[in-house]
Structure 1
Amino acid sequence: MSQTMYGVVLWADHKDQKAVIWCEDHGDLALYHDAEASVHDGVSLDEGDLIEFDLKQEENLRLAQNPRRLAQNHYPGLAQALRHADASRNTGPTVPNETGNVIPFRGRTPAYPTGPLRAIHAS
């Protein structure tokens, strides 16, 4: 079973007709490979291209089929930005959260009590 998906090409090899695609659902990357096409046949994908394709799941791989370019070089630095975003995620130690599910923004004073809750007795 396949579904239509949008994505951005993160890496492409024209000679081997291969590409790695970041999918709109932010799930696993999709792989494109057209073994039967030559360099002069089919679609030519480049890094940063916005594409629409049919996504097919085969075992543990997501395969892109029938790619259609919607915009060339639409996101030119996306692969580099994703690399830097991953590296900057772990910028230092995190403060333990003692307030339950509420996560305070860094550098802001929370508008709620941060210590242990105490019982309030009605008079």
Structure 2
Amino acid sequence: MICGVVIWYSRVDFKALIWCEDSGALAFATGPTSWRNPMVEIAVGDCVAFVAEEAGRERKCRDIHLIAAQMAPDLPLSIQQGRGNTPTPPPQLSLCSTGGVAQPAANKGNPLLHLCASRD
């Protein structure tokens, strides 16, 4: 299982783009079959867990499920702002599962993004 933050989501098509905990390639959800339960409400900024499958140069998701809502709602904006002449790095983020509930941690770790979660 990999954890990540949803940075784009289309409810109509059940498609999503997810920034992954390992700061590797972004992951793509490509339809309702990617989701453990497609009826669960997901939003940009939500922390999700999923199984990653390499498909050529892409990383596809399956069995996506919600870990914690709105853990990083400003992450997409931070990423977009980083494209200017003086890049602003995305916020440092660490999500650690505590008693089954993900908690934001102090700003330590990977300067781009670091997610840690207990494994199922």
Corresponding residue number in structure 2 for 1:95: none
The answer to whether residue 41 in structure 2 is matched with residue 44 in structure 1 is: yes
Whether contact under 8 Å (2:47, 2:71) holds in the other structure is yes
* Rg larger in structure: 1
**Displacement after TM superposition at 1:69 (Å):** 0.4
- Matched to 1:69, the amino acid is L
Structure 1 unaligned spans of 5+: 91-123
**Displacement after TM superposition at 1:82 (Å):** 1.1
Secondary structure in structure 1 of the residue aligned to 2:82 = helix
Corresponding residue number in structure 1 for 2:51: 54
Q: For each residue in 1:53-91, what CA deviation from the matched residue of structure 2 results, as whole angstroms up to 9, or x when unmatched? A: 00000111100111110111111110001111232239x
Percent of residue pairs bearing the same amino acid type: 27
Match of 2:21 among 15, 20, 24: 24
Q: For each residue in 1:74-109, what CA deviation from the matched residue of structure 2 results, as whole angstroms up to 9, or x when unmatched? A: 11110001111232239xxxxxxxxxxxxxxxxxxx
Corresponding residue number in structure 2 for 1:10: 7
Give the whole-Å Cα distance in 2 for the aligned partners of 1:50 and 1:36.
19
The answer to whether residue 33 in structure 2 is matched with residue 33 in structure 1 is: no
Query: Which protein has the bigger strand share?
Result: 2
If the length of structure 2 is used for normalisation, what is the TM-score?
0.63
Write out the 4+ residue segments of structure 1 that deviate beyond 4 Å after TM superposition: none
Where does 1:82-121 land on structure 2 (aligned, <5 Å)? Answer: 82-87=79-84, 88-89=86-87
Structure 2 unaligned spans of 5+: 89-120
If the length of structure 1 is used for normalisation, what is the TM-score?
0.62
Secondary structure in structure 2 of the residue aligned to 1:43 = coil
**Displacement after TM superposition at 1:50 (Å):** 0.3
Judging changes above 3 Å, is the alpha-carbon distance between structure 1 residues 50 and 17 closer, same or farther for their aligned structure 2 residues? same
Secondary structure in structure 2 of the residue aligned to 1:86 = coil
Give the whole-Å Cα distance in 2 for the aligned partners of 1:78 and 1:41.
23
